[in-house]
Amino acid sequence: MTIAPPTAAASVVPTKSREALDPVYRQIRDLVYKVSGIYKAEDKLYLLADGCGRRMKHLGACTAREYWGHLSGQPGREGELRNLLNEVTIGETCLFRSPPQLDALRKVILPEIVGGKIMQVPKRLRIWSAGCSTGEESYTLAMNMLEESERLLKGWTVEILATDLNDHSVETAKAGIYGDYALRSTPDHFKRKYFSMVDEKRLRVCADVKKLITFSRLNLQDDSKMPIMKGMDLIFCCNVLIYFDGPSKSKVIEHFFRNLNFGGYFFLGTSESLMKLNDKFHLVHFPGAIAYWKPSLKSSQL
């Protein structure tokens, strides 16, 4: 599932300080959370206000209160909420977006999964990046798995399936070429090791990383395709569920649950919540990161 291209985010300029914000933006924040599970933290509220500002301009609404009417009272509010969600998730994607999530993955989760599959032959780790957009998350995962290839994952085969609804995004992802903005959080060590230079402003992901990933087009609502995604150890689905209505969202989450191995983990975006849409997953905390865990058979039988 694709959101606006990363370059668009460069134009997001904070226009309002926290103190100056109209209290109605907190009401909008609560509404956005209720319908999408996306939570805009206090220090990111100005981004929500910016997104609202762009929509207000489009609609000709003069005040935040007036815009609130478009979101809550008037006919067409669902469409407007979707437009706003598009605005507020702009530019959220980049490589190495959540270091605490990667720490949890490498320090806690991988040792647990590897330990759980100690008797398994062949040793295989399957990861699904669902709604991979232009590939930033998929490549970040691949590079981190390669970092473990001489340690925890020695002798393991890692497969990353990266899917998106949008053909254009999938093609961009396959090319694996990123500019400064997408690479702003990538540690230099990774830039040197896993990229080659395209020109002064862009780097290309190297072939060793690419060969871990299979990019393809997939509609998450296409039930017939879901069985081919089974046997996953990890599923990442960042800022994608916001595009589905309640029942579709529940169905997609159920697919994720079924396609995960017992003991596998499901990750959402860092400020996104599954809320109460699925009670089979266990919400688990790691330092600075949250994940949803499908309990291992052993623990679910206890």
Residues β-bridged to residue 260: 232
Handedness of CA 203, 208, 214, 220 (dihedral sign): negative
Among the residue ranges 128-136, 166-174, 249-257, 285-293, the one whose residues contact another protein (CB under 8 A): 285-293
Q: Which of 199, 203, 210, 175 is nearest to 188 (CA)?
A: 203
Judge whether 39 and 33 are in contact, CB under 8 Å: yes
Measured from the CB atom, is 32 or 209 closer to another protein? 32
Binder among 33, 181, 244, 257 for another protein (CB under 8 A) = 33
Neighbours of 42 (CB within 10 A): 10
Residues 144, 273, 278, 296: which binds another protein (CB under 8 A)? Answer: 273
Among 16, 39, 53, 177, binds another protein (CB under 8 A): 39
Indicate the helix (H) or strand (E) that contains 100: helix 99-103
Binding segment (CB under 8 A) for another protein, from list 6-14, 74-82, 131-139, 274-282: 274-282
CA–CA separation, 223 and 257 (whole Å): 14
Three-class DSSP category at 292:
strand
The mark string for 100-119 relative to another protein (x by CB under 8 A, - otherwise) is ---x---xxx--x-------
Position 257 contacts another protein (CB under 8 A): no
d(CA 230, CA 215): 16
66 forms part of the interface with another protein (CB under 8 A): no
Q: What angle do CA 27, 30, 36 make, to 5 degrees?
A: 135
Residue selected from 41, 59, 228, 297 as contacting another protein according to rule CB under 8 A: 41
Figure out which of the listed residues 19, 43, 150, 199 binds another protein, where binding follows CB under 8 A. 43
Tokens of 246: 């309640």
- Confirm or reject binding of residue 232 to another protein (CB under 8 A): no
State the nearest-atom distance from the C-beta of 285 to another protein, in Å.
4
Binding site for another protein (CB under 8 A): 33, 37, 39, 41-43, 103, 107-109, 112, 271, 273-276, 282-288, 290, 293
